[in-house]
Amino acid sequence: MNKIVYFDVQNYEKEFLKKHNEGKYDYHLESNSLNNLASLKEEYKDAKVISVFTTSRVSNKVLAQFPKLELIALRSVGFNHIDIDYCSERGIVVENTPNYGNKSVAEFAIALLLDVCRKVTFSYTEYKEAHVKATALIGNELGDKTIGIVGLGAIGSEFAKLAHGFDMKILGFDFSQKQELIENYNVKYTDFDTLLSKSDFISLHAPLTKENKHMFNENAFAKMKKTAIIINTARGELIDTQALFNALTRKEIAGAGLDVLESEEAISDPDYLADIGKLDECALKQTVLNNRLLQLPNVIITPHIAYNTHEAINRILKTTMSNINSFFDGVVNNNVN
């Protein structure tokens, strides 16, 4: 019987996975993440399939512990947490779960934008502390403002449709253009620098690549409006954390709504918290900055939950099992390498 190990398993996933694996696979449900900090159980090392979420960090050192591995079934769209080159060299197939959270993430990005613009969390905190001062709680409307969308794939397109519903002017930056967005939602594609300088708000929906890491750096923030707000529900590494912190504290931009951070695993992963010495110098610096960002009144940070709806979770699990079943039937779906 083929062995599958599911890592990062939450309690709400267990019933589904048990139902669809019982009697069919030699399966194991592991709540811990897969990374080079935690020791791997000996019984897992002969697995043919591993399934992980974005909280795992699957390096070549981790992969080397699975000599019989044939498939990595991702329970996510993104795959920057996997050593794809290593997998390709050794014939390990990597499959993702596309389109599971398009609406969920787009709606959450709008929620973050509204929260920062209308100071929802800030006013709630102030009210609890009986520090209500109306002038400090003045917000901004979305209507008739310009939103710049970086990345107009499935999620970015959904975000554009929502922004159109708020009567926003929409600028888009992407390497390919969608005629539907131009014709039906008045999206105007432009270059990156124009988007930076003209946008009142910017929302990130691009996948992380080697080319766009830290695309929002000191130079980018210097070109943005001082009243601009940046929203990131994509990948933390798209933004240089130091540059963002500087831009916010120097009032070069007005605020940020972040569901993702650089080195975000250092905040929540117990393997890192158990031994902080395992963090490298860069991760330690980013972690300090992340905690400083949490203290700023014009910043909202959430723990990578934009995808986290009942509907999206159900789609993730269904697609994951479909990918695995098809793989053992000799069909590769949603291959990313």
Q: How far apart are CA 64 and CA 45, in angstroms?
A: 9
User: CB of 21 within 8 A of CB of 3?
Assistant: no
Enclosing H/E stretch for 73: strand 71-74
CA contacts within 13 A on the Cβ side of 83: 16
Indicate which residue of 13, 158, 264, 265 is catalytic: 264
Going by the DSSP 8-state scheme, the letter that residue 255 receives in this structure is E
Of the candidates 235, 252, 265, 315, the residue annotated as catalytic is 235
Classify 15 as helix, strand or coil.
helix
Please say if 214 is a catalytic residue. no
Say how far residue 277 (Cα) sits from the centre of its chain.
26
Closest by Cα among 76, 75, 95, 68 to 16 = 75
Q: Quick check: is 131 catalytic?
A: no
Helix/strand/coil for 270: helix
Which one of the listed residues 57, 75, 81, 304 is annotated catalytic? 304
Q: Does residue 107 have an active-site annotation?
A: no
Dist CA 151 CA 203 (whole Å): 9
| Type and span of the H or E element at 301 | strand 299-301
Known catalytic residues are 235, 264, 304
